[in-house]
Amino acid sequence: MYFIGQTRFSLYIPGSNAWNVSNFTEEEYIAHLFSDERMAIRAKIFSEISVPMLAKMKGEFDYNHIVSYSSIMPEKWKKTLFDLQKKYPFIYLHEVDKNKVNPIYQILKNKPNGCIAFFRLDDDDLLSINFLNSLSKYNNLAFRNMAVSFGKGFTGYYKENHFIDFRECKQRFIAIGQAYIGTYTDGKVELPAMHSHHNLDENYPVIVDSREFMYIHTHHAQQDTNYRFSNDSNNKTNTIEADLMKYPKVKSSGILSENFPYLIKDVNDFLNNKKSVYNINNFILPNKYSTFEIKNDIEEIVFDCEYELHTEKSISSSKAFVLSIFPEDSSSNIQGMTRSNNPDIGWYKYISVSAGLSKGEFSFSLDRPMKIKKLKITIWDNRIKEAEIKSINLSN
């Protein structure tokens, strides 16, 4: 069996819908595409983290990775690719506009017949070192003309030359590592045609395997999706953090370190640098409303809240409690929470109870770094006469 990956390394594709450049000239587009600010992050992630992990992932598999680039790319970035290819011979460089021959044919030339698993990987995303081992289960004739999507992975926030935040996520049909199963027979390659990952299952049968963590979807200020062509660095950061807070934070290093060993230091730094903002432990709620003043100078954008509450009676309720958060700027918007018209409730989350126990976590983000002034618990379900906060931990 053969495995072939492809990374389009800041590839210049005239007229591509992948770029939202309708309000910019071709010159502005090219200048942005190859700007030092944008390229430096990609070159560092790809050459220092991604490719070394791809090399470890390769193991004994027959695996080559195509790196496609444009002839107009500045020479210093070409040199980065040339140096990588010398160090890692499984890298196959393809100058797209100068070499029109399909690189897959060049890679497989004179090799025996066999099945092919072809996948793509962006230059700033990462695959687990166990990716090929998992994909090998589907790289056979039984899955020919089908696609494979690994739905479980992590999101990571890359800032100032290292990852500072890791979250667990599930995204069916995510583009990272999405694979197509085909064949190489008597010198002929047969692979399913590429389709958008959003509606892939409308074109082919798709195997969705979300049992293991297979990727890291990288977020950074120079991304081409949600943050392109913005000069407001604070807005970029706020947008990234607001997006990340949709997912739960990683709480232990085990699975991350096992799948992405080159990130062990970043993972440990992230886990060890978590700051406590406010804690409540073993507090009996004396009445319907309980307010807790928070007196510290911690200013942040994204906060995490873990909670555990018990009720005396073993009841179940989807709206047992209301947990309210009050930032120092009352006009601030909070993503991840709902705003009540009642100023005594403010920004809130409903807390459910099942058989007298409520336990969970959520994240929320503010418009800008600021302090949280108070936290409030309201007993919302009138059936609850006695309740206890076992713990509420507000951190960032």
3-state secondary structure of 197: helix
Distance CA 74, CA 72 (A): 6
- Kindly state the average pLDDT of the residues 12-37: 72
Read off the DSSP letter of residue 152: E
Residue 230: pLDDT over 60: no
- Kindly state the average pLDDT of the residues 129-138: 97
Q: What is the pLDDT of residues 341-379, one digit of tens each?
A: 999 999 999 999 999 999 998 888 888 889 999 999 999
Name the range with the highest mean pLDDT among 8-22, 124-138, 242-256.
Answer: 124-138
What is the set of domains in the chain, with CATH numbers? 2-269 (3.90.550), 275-395 (2.60.120)
pLDDT of residue 229: 42
Band (pLDDT 50/70/90 cuts) for residue 193 is: confident
Residue 325: pLDDT over 70: yes
Residues 6+ apart with CB under 8 A from 79: none
Band (pLDDT 50/70/90 cuts) for residue 21 is: very low
Residues pairing with 350 in the sheet: 322
Residue 227: pLDDT over 50: no
Band (pLDDT 50/70/90 cuts) for residue 15 is: low
Tokens found for residue 270: 């992230």
pLDDT of residue 48: 96
Cα separations in angstroms, 201 against 56, 149, 190, 194: 31, 10, 19, 12
Q: For residue 87, give the nearest of 65, 61, 109 by alpha carbon.
A: 65
- Kindly state the average pLDDT of the residues 259-274: 90
Residues pairing with 63 in the sheet: 3
Band (pLDDT 50/70/90 cuts) for residue 225 is: low
